[in-house]
Structure 1
Amino acid sequence: MGKSFPEPQGGGSLILAWQVKHRKVVVIGGGEVAAGRILNLLNADAKVTVISPRDGLNAEVAHRVERMQVQYVDRKFLSTDLDDPSISMVLVAIDDPEASTEIWQLCKERRIPANIADVPPECDFYFGSVHRDGPLQIMVSTNGNGPKMANIVRRRIAKSLPPNIGDAIAKVGELRKRLRVVAPGNGEGPKRMQWMSKVCVEWSLEDLCSMEEQDMDELLHSYRPNVVPTLEQVRRGEEPGKFEFDGSFGWACVI
């Protein structure tokens, strides 16, 4: 009794990291907006199919086609293009409002998630402004209200981040993988998560960035649930939980 809980704030979106790796995504259009969508999809390892007449391709999309980074269909969209049951999503970026709406309706009939560029009511999801640094991705969304504002906010956030945070995150990811080998089993899961959390909180960003292969091995060798040595202790080979006095008073004690 008496405990307060956050009040729901309607009008937002459920922001997710959508896994489209090896999944088929259809992009209809070949202009500047389509180029940005295609790059985002390729960064996510999706199988991209681009449908657009060749004279509608901008330089970047044409580059993707020439490098065979995407599957290309050289013509306007046909309703039969959506008959493939393996299609995971459709992105429409063409300068034809009526055709765009028709494609949206076809997607709804087939229950395929779709995004119609610059038409928020005809979108199952929105694209935000994304900052990328290795494994780190930060998305800022205005729920379709102000794409330029999202870009401004994203740049301000990115400027406040340390330049090496992507490297630190990559090393934490590698440490997590190795920890699963050291402490396998579902029963160890909560202990592993708690231990990794302590590493991220107690080690500085500089520590994580400077962590080397040998440091990881030594850290994992000393693994005990809820006990995390410092980087200095790891490099000196000290057991975690032991603290040494320097003898300033003529004696030393090990706890």
Structure 2
Amino acid sequence: MTTHVSMLTATDARSHIHLIVGSNPLAAARCGQSLSAGASPILLVPETAELHYALQKRIDDGEVKWIKEAFRDEHLFTLGREEIDHVVDAVFVTSGPREPLSAHISTVCKRNRIPVNVVDAPQLCTFSLLSTHVDGPLQIGITTNGRGCKLASRIRREVAASLPPNLGSAFLRLGDVRRRIQEEDHLLHMALADGDDVDDSVDQLASFNKLVTEADIDAAKNRRMRWLGQICEYWPLKRLAAITDADVSNILQSYSDLSSSPSPPSSLNSATNNNSNNTPSPPPKRGRIILAGSGPGHPDLLTRATHKAIRAADLVLADKLVPAGVLDLVPRRTPVRIARKFPGNADAAQAELHEMAVQAAREGKTVLRLKQGDPYVYGRGGEEVEFFRGHGFGLAGDRNLGAEGGGEGSVVVLPGVTSALSAPLFAGIPSTQRDVADQVLICTGTGKKGKAPVPPEYVRSRTVVFLMALHRVGGLVAELTGYMDSEIRDETGENREKEVGEAKKRVLWPRNTPCAVIERASCPDQRVIRTTLDRVVEAVEQEGSRPPGLLVVGAACEFLNKLDKGQAWRVEEGFRGLDFVGDGLDLGE
């Protein structure tokens, strides 16, 4: 099977005119991307079209120009910049490939060599948008050439998560070094004349590691540039990310002050586990089921008891949200089964794991039922213990079922670090803070079978953590800031809306209450969206969702991290809070 590859380019779109055809959420996203690149988006839809609210807001704010007309071919040649005869620079069609207009616009654009992008229709596009990570001047783009957009997004996140923080700042400093060297030594002309590498789209030339000596007159003229290139190639990324002004000064003053013999970093050897001395004993007549929490995500946040259970289990039954870093700790010899949970199959998947656990335990095996967070904090741990008890496996110490001391035929429950308390910490949110928050409430955002639970009332000094809420964040915000239908109707179904204000049954949350969405807490691709209740729905819709995640609401959210004036929300990517583990700190392993 053959496939094509695209020529990836970076376009300087400043001052460009982008034509956006469509009025849906994707059109709003395209306008945002266009603005971020410095272009001027023009929205082309009839006046009768129903605009997405984010589009309407950008229009009202003067960021997007709205031409209230249906598409005509002449729009392509009249709405652009004067310096290119009013031809638009690019066209984005957001209505999809099934609309006849999409194919027509594509044909006209191709005929006139106008770049065009049609959503979900690679065959109609002359260019595609990459899944990008941006850190200052650093941009990393991933494309699958139309074969798997969601996978491209995941790869982009994992690539970004593997990079050290502040790498973008390092590029700013190193770029300044390069510019100053070029100015001082006239190296730009020299580089073009002697073929030195000035293109970052190709690998280094064969002469890259050639020793620079004073005797080499040509090399002496550009020695600092060559040493700068070798610093970029061989310094560890963490070291580059931490480059200082003093380092910059040293590079500029003398290349010889730096390492005189750079060499490629050696490969890291993967640690292997040698269990040759741990010969497993014959299985007991009746096995054991261990119900354990894997914590919020980072493997270093496992309890020692759970880590021992992972190493000793004969079978691991894991929830689908248990992160890969934790599952990597399972010995290769141990089979792992992941819950096959998806919408509409949650109960069946749970039952399947239950049956597998009971069957294996009856065969004398030690079964580890590995759950995310803590088993008893919205982890359905109690239900599982009840099920196992009904099949003859009592909770450790449950004497009436012969499970004394956690021995044969027992269920042992091990705690885990719950994300409800650890995720705010990793996001820089003190759940309790003197004079700000004196209580923490942990709630679910979704009740049984998807039913909306009764929302908590507003208490100024309260921090509320909502688990399992982001998929219905719009409904949750509406419930927090307004009365539910069940609250304004009495038992007979009669409307009592006017009486609600007088009764003051529940204090509503102010819409400007600070809040934060925390996703994949403690994992390398952790993301925090800081905003307020009145903007969180828009933020999640525009930024997308990255489960598992939770919502934190309350004044504590802004105690250490205030938004800038006029800022609707701020997105923070990545987690490096446990990088010190293993770097010389003895934690008693």
Per-residue CA deviations over 1:2-35 (Å, capped at 9, x if unaligned) read xxxxxxx752221211222212221111322122
Give, as a single letter, the amino acid of the residue that structure 2 aligns with 1:200. Answer: C
The alpha carbon displacement at 1:123 in A equals 0.6
Q: Which whole-Å deviations, capped at 9, do the CAs of 1:190-211 have from their partners, x for residues lacking one?
A: 3365232112134443443443
Look up the match of 1:197: 229
Partner of 2:50: 56
1:1-255 matches, within 5 Å, as: 10-53=3-46, 55-84=49-78, 85=85, 86-94=87-95, 97-185=99-187, 186-187=189-190, 190=196, 191=222, 193-223=225-255, 227=256, 229=258
Which of the pair is proportionally richer in helix?
A: 1
Cα distance change on mapping 1:59 and 1:14 into 2, 3 Å:
same
SS of the aligned residue for 2:120 comes to: coil
Corresponding residue number in structure 1 for 2:219: none
Could you tell me which amino acid in structure 2 is paired with residue 102 of structure 1? H
Within 2, Cα distance between the matches of 1:72 and 1:119? 25
Q: CA deviation at 1:77?
A: 1.7
AA aligned to 1:28 is V
- Residue 188 of structure 1 and its aligned partner are, at CA, apart by 5.2
TM-score by length of 2: 0.35
Residues 29 and 50, structure 1, Cα contact 8 Å, conserved in 2: yes
**CA positional deviation for 1:151:** 1.3
Distance 1:174 1:63 in 2: 38
* Runs (4+) off by over 4 Å: none
- What residue identity is the alignment partner of 1:171? R
Q: Is the 8 A contact 1:142 1:150 kept in 2?
A: yes
Distance 1:202 1:148, change over 3 A: closer
Q: CA deviation at 1:88?
A: 1.6
SS at match of 1:121: helix
Instruction: Tell me the TM-score normalised to structure 1 length.
Output: 0.76
State the structure with bigger RCO (CA 8 A, min sep 6), 1 or 2.
Answer: 1
Secondary structure in structure 1 of the residue aligned to 2:159: helix
Contact 1:171–1:208, Cα closer than 8 Å, also in 2:
no
Partner residue of 2:305? none
User: What percent identity do the matched residue pairs reach?
Assistant: 30
Give the secondary structure class of the aligned counterpart of 2:28. helix
Ranges in structure 1 where 5+ consecutive residues have no aligned partner: 1-8, 231-239, 242-255
CA positional deviation for 1:215: 4.0
Q: Which moved more, 1:211-220 or 1:172-181?
A: 211-220
Distance, in Å, in 1 between the alignment partners of 2:55 and 2:179 is 37
Partners of 2:225 and 2:95 in 1: CA distance: 46
In the TM superposition, what whole-angstrom CA distance separates every residue of 1:164-203 from its partner, at most 9, and x where no partner exists? 2222222222222222222225115633652321121344
Q: 1:177 to 1:59 in 2, by over 3 A?
A: farther
Q: For residues 169 and 60 of structure 2, what CA distance do their matches in structure 1 show?
A: 32
Count of matched residue pairs? 221
Q: Secondary structure at the match of 2:74?
A: helix
- SS of residue paired to 1:27: strand
Pairwise CA distance, 1:110: 2.1
Quote how far apart the aligned CAs of 1:93 are: 0.8
In structure 1, what is the Cα distance between the partners aligned to 2:88 and 2:114? Answer: 7
Distance 1:201 1:56, change over 3 A: same
CA spacing shift, 1:228–1:187, aligned 2, 3 Å: farther
Structure 2 alignment gaps of length 5 or more? 79-84, 197-221, 262-589
Partner Cα distance (1:175, 1:182) in 2: 11
1:184 and 1:146 map into 2 onto residues whose CA distance is: 46
Aligned counterparts of 1:62 and 1:173: Cα–Cα separation in 2: 39
Q: How far has the Cα of 1:65 moved from its partner?
A: 1.7
